């Protein structure tokens, strides 16, 4: 996972804001290409742009064709007082992320697809990629395991990462491990030179082109040597 800063610009955002203020429904936000009306797709494009082309959860590279809109507060969420918070926030741009289709793990789903299975028991995640302080506590082991702050801590955060979002399935772990291995190999080759590490960091953080898949893994490792 990587920190996401909301940009809130563009025609799609402005149109969605009007709908949200008028208390409209997300289900009413549909594409009608026959009328050249593609608001939901345009919203997804805006989300992908501010995320620079990666899934908000697993950080795989995604495009409009293989991405979907995720609601941080699930649309069906109702609080203890019976307030339909999910319904109230389903047109709130601040409550939306772009995510993959959750189909990379061989024997299971992940990201939004995996989370949907926990909506009854675990309707809210304990963190959000929109929170910079929380994202600074996301770490990775050399084997590619993602964890929150302390690997040995049996926290709600780690439970959400491992079970709810299933971000430690073998396929995703192996992909992250390959990135870490390649970074470490380059660092060894350049004798852990600080200037080299800084240059590599700038490459992985560059927003002028779409982020490379699992970019935060490389950023996490490189920052250790700067």
pLDDT tens, position by position, 191-216: 999 999 999 999 999 999 999 999 99
Residues 184-199 as b/e (b if ≥16 CB within 10 A, e otherwise) read eeebeeeeeeeebbee
Per-residue pLDDT tens over the stretch 71-95: 999 888 888 888 898 899 999 999 9
Q: Is residue 35 predicted with pLDDT exceeding 80?
A: no
Domain locations in the chain?
A: 11-225
Identify the pLDDT of residue 78: 85
pLDDT tens per residue, range 114-149: 998 887 777 889 899 999 999 999 999 999 999 998
SS3 for 51-120, per residue? CCCECCCCCCECCHHHEEEEECCCCCCCCCCCCCHHHHHCCCHHHEEEEECCCCCCCCCCHHHHHHHHCC
| pTM higher than 0.85 | yes
* Model confidence at 152: pLDDT above 70: no
């Amino acid at each position: 996972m990587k920190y996401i800063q909301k940009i809130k610009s563009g025609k799609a955002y402005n149109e969605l804001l009007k709908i949200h203020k008028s208390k409209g429904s997300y289900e009413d936000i549909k594409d009608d290409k026959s009328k050249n009306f593609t608001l939901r797709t345009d919203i997804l494009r805006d989300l992908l742009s501010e995320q620079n082309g990666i899934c908000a959860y697993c950080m795989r590279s995604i495009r409009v064709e293989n991405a979907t809109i995720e609601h941080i507060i699930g649309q069906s969420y109702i609080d203890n007082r019976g307030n339909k918070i999910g319904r109230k926030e389903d047109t709130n741009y601040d409550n939306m992320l772009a995510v993959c289709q959750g189909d990379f793990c061989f024997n299971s789903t992940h990201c939004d697809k995996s989370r949907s299975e926990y909506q009854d028991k675990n309707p809210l995640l304990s963190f959000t990629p929109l929170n910079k302080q929380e994202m600074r506590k996301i770490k990775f082991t050399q084997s590619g395991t993602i964890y929150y702050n302390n690997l040995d801590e049996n926290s709600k955060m780690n439970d959400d990462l491992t079970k709810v979002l299933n971000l430690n399935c073998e396929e995703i772990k192996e992909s992250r491990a390959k990135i870490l291995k390649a970074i470490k190999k380059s660092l060894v080759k350049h004798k852990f030179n600080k200037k080299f590490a800084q240059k590599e960091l700038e490459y992985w953080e560059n927003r002028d082109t779409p982020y490379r898949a699992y970019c935060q893994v490389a950023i996490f490792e490189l920052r250790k040597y700067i």
